[in-house]
Amino acid sequence: FAGVGISFQTRTGMFGKARALRAVQDVSFELLRGEVLGIVGESGSGKSTLARMAMRLLAPSAGEILYEGRPLAAYKGAQDKRLRGEVQMVFQDPNASLNPRLSIEQSLLEPFILHRRGSRQERQAEILRLLDVVGLPPTVLQRYPFELSGGQKQRVVIARALALKPKVLIADEAVAALDASVKAQIINLLLDLRQEFGLSIIFISHDLPMVQAMCDRVLVLYLGRLMETAPRAVVAQGGMHPYTRALWKSSPAADPDQGLAHEETLAGEIPSPLDPPGGCVFHTRCPQATGRCREAVPERRALSPGHDVACILFEPS
């Protein structure tokens, strides 16, 4: 992602004035091979929009997204098909990804048929292997989605996403709807897959402690802007940006031993993305905001390799 932004035209009422909603603004980051990158933020922070742009479901209106050094928009024909196999996405609701009228076997065969991969026998062997990878018994093949639990369905969706041996897996709130124990199992499964296949994973969630626990690096988004990019160890200390710190403190799972007990919660409402505050977009809720924060848009500043923060508190005075 290089300076990526996207705006949507919105209208309020039939004769309302068209307004540009800047859902994402000037976001830059790299995903390394075999890396687990977390993207966190509250709802409306632009996390899913970033994922949709990476999947080419939306086109950025500014900047570029490159895959293996080439802009996504330049992938055509056979290259385009390869890209579709190599970058896969898992959403929060497995029901949205599984056709209720297809058996699990038919659902798992679909990617092989679409991409014309393997003979009949090879496909059969491959789907059995995939079930094994995600820890499901072969007996689920004859079942239909309604007969499985949410966790089982999400495993099927992950198995299908892995069918074409992707290089990148984007998980957008992929475990948010699951029970704590199933959640942990699916997260461990994703981490094993990274080990086994060298998969790069973009893990999108509103749950900062969970993201911190599983990701090598974390991007913190607020109203479509990057607030902080930090390696896991920095995030474990609560991060540096006031928003990252507030997210930690407001999280029920935050560890009080780290001095981050919730003495403060994230006060106030998230401003409308249609009318974001000027200056630092976080100033209306920031406990450390000063008058300057209302005027100046803070620049991203590298504090150490792989760690940067957009906040005037870290700007050299």
Interface contacts to ligand SF4, rule CB under 6 A: 242-243, 280, 282-283, 286, 288-289, 293, 298, 311-313
Contact present, 251 and 207 (Cβ < 8 Å): yes
Contact present, 212 and 280 (Cβ < 8 Å): no
Q: Is 69 exposed, middle or buried (0-12, 13-18, 19+ CB in 10 A)?
A: exposed
Nearest distance, CB of residue 243 and ligand SF4, angstroms: 6
Structure tokens at 105: 């076997």
Residue 169 touches which of Mg ion, ligand SF4, none (CB < 5 to 8 A by kind)?
none
Contact present, 258 and 251 (Cβ < 8 Å): no
Site for Mg ion (CB under 5 A): how many residues? Answer: 1
Segment lying near Mg ion (by CB under 5 A), choices 20-28, 42-50, 53-61, 72-80: 42-50
How far is Cα of residue 102 from the mean position of the Cα atoms in its chain? 28
Structure tokens at 90: 């898992």
Nearest distance, CB of residue 274 and ligand SF4, angstroms: 20
Q: Does 48 bind Mg ion (CB under 5 A)?
A: yes
Nearest distance, CB of residue 309 and ligand SF4, angstroms: 8
Residue 1 touches which of ligand SF4, Mg ion, none (CB < 5 to 8 A by kind)?
none
Residue 286 touches which of Mg ion, ligand SF4, none (CB < 5 to 8 A by kind)?
ligand SF4
- When the beta carbons of 172 and 308 are compared against Mg ion, the nearer one is 172
Residue 91 touches which of Mg ion, ligand SF4, none (CB < 5 to 8 A by kind)?
none
Window 182 to 241, contacts with Mg ion (CB under 5 A) = none
- When the beta carbons of 252 and 291 are compared against ligand SF4, the nearer one is 291
Nearest distance, CB of residue 246 and ligand SF4, angstroms: 9
Distances (CA, A) of 12 to 15, 18, 20, 21, 49: 7, 7, 11, 12, 21
Nearest distance, CB of residue 47 and Mg ion, angstroms: 6
Nearest distance, CB of residue 37 and ligand SF4, angstroms: 22
Residue 39 φ then ψ, to 5°: -125, 115
- Give residue for tokens 């059969």: 124
Distance from C-alpha of 81 to C-alpha of 59, rounded to nearest angstrom: 18
Q: Is 62 exposed, middle or buried (0-12, 13-18, 19+ CB in 10 A)?
A: middle
Distance from C-alpha of 294 to C-alpha of 281, rounded to nearest angstrom: 8
Contact present, 187 and 9 (Cβ < 8 Å): no
- When the beta carbons of 48 and 200 are compared against Mg ion, the nearer one is 48
Contact present, 43 and 209 (Cβ < 8 Å): no
- When the beta carbons of 48 and 229 are compared against Mg ion, the nearer one is 48
Residue 289 touches which of Mg ion, ligand SF4, none (CB < 5 to 8 A by kind)?
ligand SF4
- When the beta carbons of 160 and 225 are compared against ligand SF4, the nearer one is 225
Nearest distance, CB of residue 277 and ligand SF4, angstroms: 9
- Site for Mg ion, rule CB under 5 A: 48
